[in-house]
Amino acid sequence: MTTKKEIINNCKKGLITIIQDDTENYMAFSNHKDYDGNYRTSSWVETIEEAKQYIGEGEGFSEKEIEEHSEEYNWKIVEVYREEAEPFKVGDKVKILPSIKNANDWEITKEYFSNNMEGKIISVFNNIDGLYYTVSVYDSDKSNFYYYISHQYLAPLYEEDDKNKEISVEFTLEEIAKKLGVDVNKIKIKI
């Protein structure tokens, strides 16, 4: 496979590709695209570490530009990697992303998810297939189901802090008077 095809294929597969040109400078290609649909890059820098740090700083490259420049400037691939993600911990609450519907076994398991796409991490597995979790999901009838779910289909669940929740309570003037133990006609309201 040619360098240009490897770079493009790596980007499509979610990988970061570090290249070196004929002046021995480095640039990183990201799988993320800019507003024009081009693959984001770092700027040209002197070290591989700098290329990794500056991803997104440079102008994006279209597939056509990658093909043209890879030959013109004699690009060679020096490193390929996937960005690491911090794993969830046992007890973390998670939401199950809609992208899970693209999983191979979705048709078999979808009926068990009902409308509740939230759960709690029960165990963590980092194996050759990637990062997976056993997630406890509560169904609408309060049944508890356990699923083996890949990291790519989960996101943190952020629940509102009770202190910041707005509470709305309605009372009639008569109810307030009764609670205070006073005659309703003696209550004065200042606005």
Tens-digit pLDDT profile for residues 46-83: 999 999 999 988 789 999 999 999 989 999 999 999 88
The confidence band for 89, taking pLDDT boundaries of 50, 70 and 90, is very high
77 and 124, same domain (yes or no): no
- Classified as helix, coil or strand, 98 is helix
Task: Classify residue 88: in a domain, yes or no.
Answer: no
| Mean of pLDDT values over 111-119 | 74
CA 191, chain centre distance (Å): 48
Say if residue 100's pLDDT is above 70: yes
CB-count burial class (<10 Å; 0-12, 13-18, 19+) for 67: middle
Alpha-carbon gap, residue 106 to 69, rounded angstroms: 41
Is residue 168 one of the residues assigned to a domain?
no
Specify if 51 maps to a domain.
Answer: yes
Residue 163 has pLDDT above 60, yes or no: no
Mean pLDDT of 107-127: 81
Q: What integer pLDDT is reported at residue 128 of this predicted model?
A: 80
Whether 177 is covered by a domain: the verdict is no
Average pLDDT, the chain: 85
Find, among 32, 152, 159, the residue nearest to 98 by Cα.
152
In a domain, 174, yes or no: no
One domain, residues 10 and 75: yes
> What is the mean predicted confidence (pLDDT) over 86-91?
90
Q: How far apart are the C-alpha atoms of 69 and 21, rounded to whole Å?
A: 10
- Token couple for 11: 């980007």
Pair (56, 103) in one structural domain: no
* One domain, residues 114 and 145: yes
Within 87-182, residue ranges assigned H as helices are 106-113, 173-180
Domain boundaries, position 52: 3-81
Tell me the per-residue pLDDT of 35-51, one tens digit each, with 9 for 90 and over.
899 999 999 999 999 99
Residues 9 and 57 grouped into a single domain: yes
